[in-house]
Amino acid sequence: MAIEFGYTISKPRAIDIDRNNLRKSDEILREMPELQTCIGCGSCTAVCTAGNLTSFNFRRVHTLVRRGEYRGAYEEMNKCMLCGKCRLVCPRGINTRGVVLLLKRKLGDF
């Protein structure tokens, strides 16, 4: 029986964009080209109502999805309450609420 230390060692992990299937990611970008202007500043996450209460991190989910890492993204996205604060603070004026709905629509079966 393994001893429980209260922490584990993370497996080394890298995102290989050449290996990942970017079909969904491309589809998402096609439907919402403004996502290309995201600078990953994280303002959306800083003001996030859901992020304030749980570990939900919009910037992280979006970044992973764009790189073809879809697993768990739908469930994560579902924590969003769609309140719209992120849209008001986005310095690039990205329609973040539209992004949430789009990601959920595209990734419902992942």
Partner 1 sequence: MSFFAPFCLPFMIGAAVMFVLLAWKWGSWLWRLPEADKRLVAKGIFTRATPEAVWETVRESLLHRRIFRIDPLLGYMHMSLAFGWFLLISVGWIETVAYLGLRYVPLQGHVFFKYFATGLPHKPAFDFVMDLLLLLVLSGVALAWFKRLRSRALGMRRTTRHVAGDRVALSALWFIFPARLAAESITCALYGGGSFLTGGLGAWLAAHVGVMPLMTAETVAWWFYSSCLGIFFVALPFSRYMHIFTEIPLIFLRRYRLRSGEKQSSYDHFQVEACSRCGICIDPCQLQSVLKIDTVQSVYFLRDRRYGMLRREVADNCLLCGRCAEKCPVGIDLNTLRVNSRDALRNVPDERRYDYFQGLDRSSGEGRVGYFAGCMTLLTPRTMQSMERIFEAAGERVWWADREGGVCCGRPLKLAGETDSARRMMRYNTELFRKHGITTLVTSCPICLRVFREDYALEGIEVLHHSEYILRLIREGRLPLGRTTERLAYHDPCELGRGSGIYEAPRAVIEAVGELVEPAHTREEALCCGSSLANTAIDDGQQVALARNVAEELDATGAGAIVTACPLCKKALGRGTATEVRDLSEVVAARIRPAAGRATK
Q: Applying CB under 8 A, which residues contact partner 1?
A: 34, 47, 49-50, 52-54, 75, 78-79, 81-85, 88-90, 92-95, 97-98, 101, 104, 108
**For partner 1, which is the closer residue by CB, 21 or 55?**
55
| Nearest distance from C-beta of residue 85 to partner 1, angstroms | 5
**For partner 1, which is the closer residue by CB, 15 or 52?**
52
**For partner 1, which is the closer residue by CB, 22 or 101?**
101
CA distance 75 to 40: 21
| Nearest distance from C-beta of residue 2 to partner 1, angstroms | 28
16, 27, 8, 32: which is closest to 106 by C-alpha?
A: 27
Who contacts 65 (Cβ-Cβ below 8 Å, separation ≥6)? Answer: 24, 25, 28, 73, 103, 107
Angle at 73 between CA 82 and CA 4, to 5 degrees: 115
| Nearest distance from C-beta of residue 47 to partner 1, angstroms | 6
